[in-house]
Structure 1
Amino acid sequence: MSAAPLEGVIAASITPLAEDLSIDVNRLARHTQRLLDNGCSFVSTFGTTGEGASLSTIEKLDALRSLSAAGADMSRQVPGVMTPTLDDAATMLVGIANAGCRAALVLPPFYYGTSEAGVAGWYDALIERTESATQIDLLLYNIPQMSRIRFTRELVETIVKRHGSRIVGIKDSTGDVQNGVMLAKSFPDLAVFTGDDRVLPTLLASGGAGMIGGMPNVFARDLRRLYDDRTNAEILAKQTERILAVDRHGSLVALKAALATYLGDENYARVLPPLKALDEVGRGKLLESFAKSGFDAAA
């Protein structure tokens, strides 16, 4: 795999959809390239912001193959593995590796809920099932508000002890700055990312690697500036206002609505059921909040 270090601003990309709700690969290719051009070090497709849990393994792997065939730089891709099904997770992981991606961000098994020993055992089984086909780098995905599983220090220690250099990082989407700092200080050999813009400066100061989040879909340039200068209080304040506005209006559906407006292409606003696209009233309030923060889409 590519030796490019996993660090910086990694955009958790939205997934553009066609009218029949299939993945719109052409728009996805343009969007991911736009994110890289605007300062992101990598792009993470098919995670939470990318509606990855609502898309099938076949759909996602077909899209990755199409991106590769279209000439996308797959070495700057860190796709998500978002399934509680071991067989699907293994198929997705091998497909991500075969597409030439830099690494995979792996969500723990959700739905049933389990012990830490059970979660560690699931990663054991995933790695055992795929190790003859790939040695791709893995990042753990800590988003307990969605998965119901929290990566404690003890759980991370167990998985790293068993699998060593295969585990290269963790995305902490708790939004808890102290949790991110704890992970960074406890695991200096791992690339620890936050999913929350507001945590980024403190995490970087504590040895963290950067962020993997949805806000770069719209604000990649500002977030790259914040990464390059963690003391930039003005950008941090603006991003705090923006993330609050996005959260008030449905998170990923808000990001899609903003992109549809700024790119002049309503196809970007389309979402998969059970999500609902942001209505015009909500979009107006969202864009008004962005305008107050001084955002210029053309800048």
Structure 2
Amino acid sequence: MFSGSIPALVTPFRDGAVDENALRRLVDWQIESGSAALVACGTTGEASTLDNQEHHRVIGLVVEFAQGRVPVIAGCGSNDTRTALWHLEEAQKLGASAALCVAPYYNRPSQAGLLAHFSTMAKACDLPIMLYNVPGRTVTDLLPETVAELHRRHPDRIVSLKDASGDLTRVVTHRLLAGGGLCQLSGDDPLALAGRVLGQTGCVSVTANVAPALSAALHAACDAGDWTLAGSLNDRLFPLHRALFADASPAPTKYALARLHPWLTEEVRLPIVPCSDGARAAVDAALAGLELLD
């Protein structure tokens, strides 16, 4: 469930609403291209601007469209523990395989608060939980000692970590503190190859939205121990990694997808706006370099 290339799916919009037909086609394309699992309603899916009805609808649709071909990991995070529990319960009812739970943002809880928050979630539901640490967005940093303690307390529930701290030394630190039972994934495409060398098993990826086959091939090469091929693929993908964050995410990613597929729009929701001309140029150059444009 927690290995390989796992796209954090965009949520397609058209005329202000979730474009369900485009979402179906996106799910099919991702699975056919080799994605190992799908994340619905993560950061790249603009979960922060989905209302609760839309949030649960998108999770249910991705589960429905995936048809059991790959696991679906549902974004269930919130800065309010009660709301996070609600998302978790709904995700389980809708048939999600696991939950991605970001550290509570804005409130800036202590490490004791994080232990209490995630322990409450682990006790409330049977879904496996992937912790998500992204202090650049949340301000709160889920420290390795806290991650290890959560895994120790709830080994059958808190089973994975998506780390976007940018600190690769934590891959080893987490393993030494939590043991081999904690499955670690990268949350940062440019660091995914280095993370694989250090022991991560895959990446929850933005880039895989746009180049799913190449992203899947990179992780397949890692699995096979072909580090030369993995390095070559990483070099090819690196300009796209950079371009997709040349402006506020996911605007460049949606622009890239609209360039590739006429059935997708680049529509985002405020406060995100369409990406700048400079970001568009960077995306176009990266897509051309990968020969993804006709």
TM-score, structure 1 normalization: 0.88
Check if 1:17 corresponds to 2:13: yes
Candidates 65, 69, 76, aligned match of 2:71: 76
**Structure 1 segment 213-224 matched on structure 2, within 5 A:** 213-224=205-216
Cross-structure match for 1:148: 139
Letter of the 1:154 partner, please give it: E
Candidates 272, 279, 284, aligned match of 2:281: 284
CA drift of 1:164 comes to 2.1
- Partners of 1:64 and 1:70 lie apart in 2 by 10
SS, match of residue 155 in structure 2: helix
Query: Is contact 1:79–1:104 with CA below 8 Å preserved after alignment?
Result: yes
CA RMSD of aligned residues (A): 2.1
**Structure 1 segment 1-299 matched on structure 2, within 5 A:** 5-19=1-15, 21-68=16-63, 72-73=67-68, 76-128=71-123, 130=124, 134-187=125-178, 188-230=180-222, 231=227, 232=229, 233-265=231-263, 267-279=264-276, 282-291=279-288, 293-297=289-293
Query: Is contact 2:99–2:129 with CA below 8 Å preserved after alignment?
Result: yes
Distance 1:68 1:149, change over 3 A: same
CA drift of 1:272 comes to 0.9
Query: Is contact 1:16–1:25 with CA below 8 Å preserved after alignment?
Result: yes
- Partners of 1:37 and 1:70 lie apart in 2 by 12
Aligned residues: 287
- Partners of 2:130 and 2:140 lie apart in 1 by 15
CA drift of 1:151 comes to 1.9
- Partners of 2:146 and 2:73 lie apart in 1 by 23
SS, match of residue 139 in structure 1: strand
Letter of the 1:277 partner, please give it: P
SS, match of residue 227 in structure 1: helix
Distance 1:189 1:274, change over 3 A: same
TM-score, structure 2 normalization: 0.90
SS, match of residue 182 in structure 1: helix
Letter of the 1:153 partner, please give it: P
Distance 1:198 1:180, change over 3 A: farther
Query: Is contact 2:13–2:19 with CA below 8 Å preserved after alignment?
Result: yes
SS, match of residue 257 in structure 1: helix
Query: Is contact 2:122–2:129 with CA below 8 Å preserved after alignment?
Result: no
CA drift of 1:121 comes to 0.9
Q: Which moved more, 1:166-175 or 1:278-287?
A: 278-287
Q: Percent identity?
A: 22
Distance 1:69 1:218, change over 3 A: closer
1:213-248 CA-partner distances (Å, limit 9, x unpaired): 111001111111111113122211122222112222
- Where do 4+ consecutive residues of structure 1 move more than 4 Å? 67-71
- Partners of 1:185 and 1:68 lie apart in 2 by 35
Distance 1:15 1:122, change over 3 A: same
CA drift of 1:6 comes to 2.1
Query: Is contact 2:56–2:91 with CA below 8 Å preserved after alignment?
Result: yes
- Partners of 1:189 and 1:119 lie apart in 2 by 20
CA drift of 1:254 comes to 0.4
Query: Is contact 2:33–2:213 with CA below 8 Å preserved after alignment?
Result: yes
Query: Is contact 2:247–2:276 with CA below 8 Å preserved after alignment?
Result: no
Distance 1:23 1:37, change over 3 A: same
